[in-house]
Amino acid sequence: MSNPFVQLTLVKLREYTREPEAMFWVFVFPVLMTCALGIAFSDSGAAAIRVGVLSPSTSLGAGPSTPLGASAGLVATLDADPRIDATALSPEQAAAQLRDGAIALVVVPGAGGAVGYRFDRTRPESSVARFTVDEVLQRASGRADAFTPADDLVALPGSRYIDWLVPGLLGMNVMMTGLWGIAFSIGMARTKKLIKRLSATPMRRSHFLGAQVAGRLVFLPIEAGVLIVFAHYVFGVPVRGSWLLLSGVVLLGAVSGAALSLFVASRARSFEAISGLINIAIVPMWILSGVFFSSSHFPAAIQPFVQALPLTALNDALRSVMLAGDGFGAIAHEVAILSAWTIVCFGLTLRIFRWQ
């Protein structure tokens, strides 16, 4: 117990456990986030397409050639299809609901049984609605299919948004918790002259830096475990690869995050400086590293930068192991990127850390 490394590590653990907010952000927040996003996205495929049918009875602009019964008939025809949820709407209601995203498409009854479609081409669900509605109406009007396709529906866990999201949330949490837990606490300790006071004792500097990392790793199994187990049992998010390899990737992610945190905190001497530096480290990864949406959406020109970010490598490796069930060979590239970040950040920290 009187070992200085153990004592310094205990300090880190006490800092975490005596700060209820820290416990919330590390353990509870990711689970809440998974829950919220899981409920929002886990079965979005089953929701009916909501469309509006312009009703001439309330429509001042409708021409006299539009039969009064046409819109009611269209609603009935469309509603009969389980994929569609149709409602008769006045032009004002239709315009408002289309704008708010409550409906994906407005069906405008025309002369002689023809219809028009009003929708925003940039909304993917509107394009889907247009083709689905058109198919139903064309068939109802007597169009024969040239052939009957055989639909082979796939709804396996692993290909849904929630499956893609959970590894990203895990990666973000594993890497970024360290930035607040380590970088912020070092920055504050420096402003309080505590680091200077410690460096006036015979304390080994390697013990101090090592304890920052060790303190971070103690909670890692609970922190990552809670999220993986929760997502697995509640949303059926799979872990197809080996648990050992997954643990190794999580550990490497946390160590590289800790190394980055030490580097970020190596010079800052004020609250403002350390907060700014942490944000500089976090924000690009939050946006670019494929936490909430794929990093492949970004232009080719910045892809080398995106791919070199440690969180991109971590997220890619986690997805490979959890979703594709890949082995070590498939993630060797990501492991190399994370290892490089770890070594470079530790090396720079040892050189430039301000002990005053």
Partner 1 sequence: MLAIRCRNLRKRYADVVAVDGLDLDVRAGECFGLLGPNGAGKTTTIEILEGLNRPDEGEVEVLGMRWGRHDHQLRQKLGIQLQETQLNEKLTVEETLRLFRSFYDEGTALDAVLARVQLEPKRHAHVGKLSGGQKQRLSVGCALVGRPALLFLDEPTTGLDPQSRRQLWGLLEEFRREGGTILLTTHYMDEAEVLCDRLAIVDHGKIIAQGSPAELTASLPPRKVVSHNATLEDVFMSLTGRHLRDE
Q: How far is the CB of 4 from partner 1 (least distance, A)?
A: 4
- The span from the first CA to the last CA of the chain, in angstroms, equals 27
> Which C-beta is closer to partner 1: that of 14 or that of 99?
14
CB 321 within 8 A of CB 297: no
> Which C-beta is closer to partner 1: that of 271 or that of 293?
271
> Which C-beta is closer to partner 1: that of 8 or that of 174?
8
Applying CB under 8 A, which residues contact partner 1?
Answer: 1-4, 6-8, 10-11, 14-15, 18-19, 189, 192-194, 196-197, 199-203, 356
CB 25 within 8 A of CB 173: no
**DSSP H helices in 205-270:** 205-218, 220-235, 243-264
> Which C-beta is closer to partner 1: that of 205 or that of 333?
205
Residue of 115, 274, 242, 240 whose CA lies nearest to 166: 240
CB 165 within 8 A of CB 37: yes
Q: How far is the CB of 1 from partner 1 (least distance, A)?
A: 8
In whole angstroms, give the CA distance from residue 103 to residue 169: 31
Q: How far is the CB of 198 from partner 1 (least distance, A)?
A: 8
In whole angstroms, give the CA distance from residue 42 to residue 235: 8
Strands 115-118 and 105-109: antiparallel
Q: How far is the CB of 204 from partner 1 (least distance, A)?
A: 8
> Which C-beta is closer to partner 1: that of 31 or that of 198?
198
Helix, strand, coil shares, percent, the chain, to 5 = 65, 5, 25
> Which C-beta is closer to partner 1: that of 199 or that of 247?
199
Q: How far is the CB of 27 from partner 1 (least distance, A)?
A: 18
In whole angstroms, give the CA distance from residue 29 to residue 91: 43
Q: How far is the CB of 7 from partner 1 (least distance, A)?
A: 4
In whole angstroms, give the CA distance from residue 288 to residue 294: 8
Q: How far is the CB of 219 from partner 1 (least distance, A)?
A: 16
> Which C-beta is closer to partner 1: that of 18 or that of 297?
18
In whole angstroms, give the CA distance from residue 266 to residue 351: 9
Task: Supply 188's token pair.
Answer: 């504050």
> Which C-beta is closer to partner 1: that of 99 or that of 197?
197
CB 314 within 8 A of CB 254: no
Q: How far is the CB of 14 from partner 1 (least distance, A)?
A: 6
> Which C-beta is closer to partner 1: that of 176 or that of 189?
189
Strand 49-54's sheet: what is its strand order?
84-89, 49-54, 105-109, 115-118
In whole angstroms, give the CA distance from residue 342 to residue 253: 9
